[in-house]
Amino acid sequence: MAVLHGAGFATVDSQHVIELEPTITLMHGVTGRPSTIAITAPTPPSRTVLLLLVLMTGLAPVSLYMLVPTLPELADTFGRDISVAQMTVSLYMVGLAVSQILMGPLSDRYGRRPVLLWGIGLMIVASVGCIFAQTLPQLIVARFFQALGGAGGMVIARAIIRDLYPRERVGAMISLVVAALMIGQLLSPLAGGLLEHNFGWRTIFYAITAAAILIAAGIAIALPETRRRADPAIESGFVRDAKVLLASRAFIGYMLCQVLASAIIFVFAGAGPYVVVTQMGRSTIEYGAWFATSGIAYLIGNLFCARFAPHHTLDRLIWFGLALQIVGAALNVIWGFAGLNQVPSWLFITHMLIMFANAFVMSNSAAGALSIRPSAAGTASGAMGFLQMGFGSLCSQFGAWLGGHFATPLPLNIALLVLSIACASTMIFLVPRNSTVATEAMIEQVEEEETGLL
């Protein structure tokens, strides 16, 4: 049961009792006892700054998805197995995971602008390395450093928004940035497919390099330093909060449910290009267009979830999503045995149902994990983000193997059904039965920790 009490929040269930205490949001979503640090009311940012926040948030994920449709072409060009070509995506995601751990603390210590500029500078150098890569291993290494530098924008943009806006507006502004970002993510596979089809795959990295240079110039010219003086209590409580969270079965259950739900996205994204381009003989442009339907379904699911969240418990919304997710995955398996999903329409229309349901599972399981210990919401979010990206890279690699080593999508369909059932198992065996309501405060906290990466 979740209880609001003034500015405090407590969570009580059969596994644990969390103390009731006033909380305040600090940088990177970490909450704790009220800080005694005086903070001057920030000046509202200009539209140019808001545009820069959108661009630097989207630089790394858009760069990820632009290359996805070209993976079969990369395997053919370098004469390597498709699982090796897939490492340009899976190791990129490892770079995203590592960057999330490093960039935030570095920006707290050295400032937002210098860390952003060094990170994007690293991405520019790595992108040039991608252009001139002569072997696939060279390209894979360059992609890792491309993600390591570019992902700083994802992390630091949220910190800048927290610096510039009062707490009651942070969630809304991050939602605005993420909404703009999702449009870019939906279009990036199509853009990548068009560039590869008309000019070759290396032009994708010319485009990424040019975009990174323009964003770096914009940061250098128009982005002010927004870092505030850090509260030393944050650092001292990190280990303590991590121990409390890892000792909670409910936190582990919600976190695993969220991570396994995201694994469905990564497995399908890893397999999709090979299923559509190699198995079905379609173009990279057509794959990019079909991939966009999954993102649209996920976006619509998030809108419905936001509409119903204040009126239903977290667990009820999660189970609604899990039920639809299992139904969609089971239908795809049935289509596979019937031989119907040998064309993109059958495969993706059913997958849209899975993605619609996935939005309910991911957002509400994340809210459940963050509600276990509100004073450690940042630690909880960081753990989920790192595990999501790290495990996601393995799932992406596994998806590529499924798509490239079989003649039908059926093995992929079975894998998605297994993952859907695994999501439900975490709720059954780990999360205690309760009636936690998705309060406005919890929804706002989830919005604040959204990575913007589908």
Tokens of 59: 């630089």
- Whether 7 maps to a domain, the answer reads no
Residues 87 and 182 both lie in one domain: yes
Residues 373 and 301 both lie in one domain: yes
Query: Which domain-ending residue is among 230, 264, 292?
Result: 230
Tokens 């442009």 sit on residue? 285
By DSSP bridging, strand 2-5 and strand 8-11 are antiparallel
153 versus 167: the higher-pLDDT residue is: 153
- Whether 8 maps to a domain, the answer reads no
Instruction: State the pLDDT confidence band at 128, using cuts at 50, 70 and 90.
Output: very high
Residues 273 and 289 both lie in one domain: yes
Question: Does the pLDDT at position 112 exceed 50?
Answer: yes
What number is the average pLDDT over the span 337-347? Answer: 84
Handedness of CA 16, 21, 25, 30 (dihedral sign): negative
Please give the mean pLDDT across all residues of the chain: 76
Q: What CATH number did the domain enclosing 59 receive?
A: 1.20.1250.20
- Whether 27 maps to a domain, the answer reads no
- Whether 3 maps to a domain, the answer reads no
- Note the pLDDT tens digit of each residue in 194-230: 888 888 889 999 999 999 999 999 888 888 887 765 4
Residues 177 and 48 both lie in one domain: yes
- Note the pLDDT tens digit of each residue in 222-249: 888 877 654 454 444 556 767 787 888 8
Question: Does the pLDDT at position 421 exceed 90?
Answer: yes
Residue 41: the pLDDT is: 42
Query: Whole-model pTM?
Result: 0.64
Residue 319: the pLDDT is: 93
Question: Does the pLDDT at position 175 exceed 60?
Answer: no
What's the number of domains the chain is made of?
2
What number is the average pLDDT over the span 68-87? Answer: 81
Are the beta carbons of 299 and 356 closer than 8 angstroms? no
Residues 167 and 226 both lie in one domain: yes
* CA–CA distance, 156 with 162 (Å, rounded to integer): 10
**Which range has highest mean pLDDT (74-83, 130-139, 155-164, 366-375)?**
130-139
* CA–CA distance, 184 with 211 (Å, rounded to integer): 13
What number is the average pLDDT over the span 160-177? Answer: 59
For the CA atoms of 245, 250, 256, 259, the dihedral, rounded to the nearest 10 degrees, stands at: -70
Residues 164 and 277 both lie in one domain: no
Residue 340: the pLDDT is: 81
Residue 450: the pLDDT is: 46
- Whether 73 maps to a domain, the answer reads yes
Residues 106 and 243 both lie in one domain: no
The region of weakest confidence among 104-108, 178-182, 408-412 is 178-182
Question: Does the pLDDT at position 89 exceed 90?
Answer: no
* CA–CA distance, 274 with 276 (Å, rounded to integer): 6
Residues 131 and 245 both lie in one domain: no
- Whether 37 maps to a domain, the answer reads no
Q: What is the number of other CB atoms lying within 10 angstroms of the CB of residue 205? A: 25
- Whether 327 maps to a domain, the answer reads yes
Residues 166 and 108 both lie in one domain: yes
Query: Which domain-ending residue is among 184, 208, 230?
Result: 230
What number is the average pLDDT over the span 291-296? Answer: 82
Residue 387: the pLDDT is: 82
For the CA atoms of 289, 52, 450, 169, the dihedral, rounded to the nearest 10 degrees, stands at: -130
Residues 100 and 203 both lie in one domain: yes
Distances (CA, A) of 319 to 326, 364, 425, 426, 433: 10, 10, 11, 11, 12
Question: Does the pLDDT at position 184 exceed 90?
Answer: no
Query: Which domain-ending residue is among 169, 204, 230?
Result: 230
Question: Does the pLDDT at position 419 exceed 90?
Answer: yes
Residue 33: the pLDDT is: 37
Residues 360 and 423 both lie in one domain: yes
89 versus 165: the higher-pLDDT residue is: 89
- Note the pLDDT tens digit of each residue in 263-280: 998 899 888 888 888 888
Residues 181 and 315 both lie in one domain: no
Residue 364: the pLDDT is: 80
- Whether 105 maps to a domain, the answer reads yes
The parent domain of residue 203 ranges over 44-230
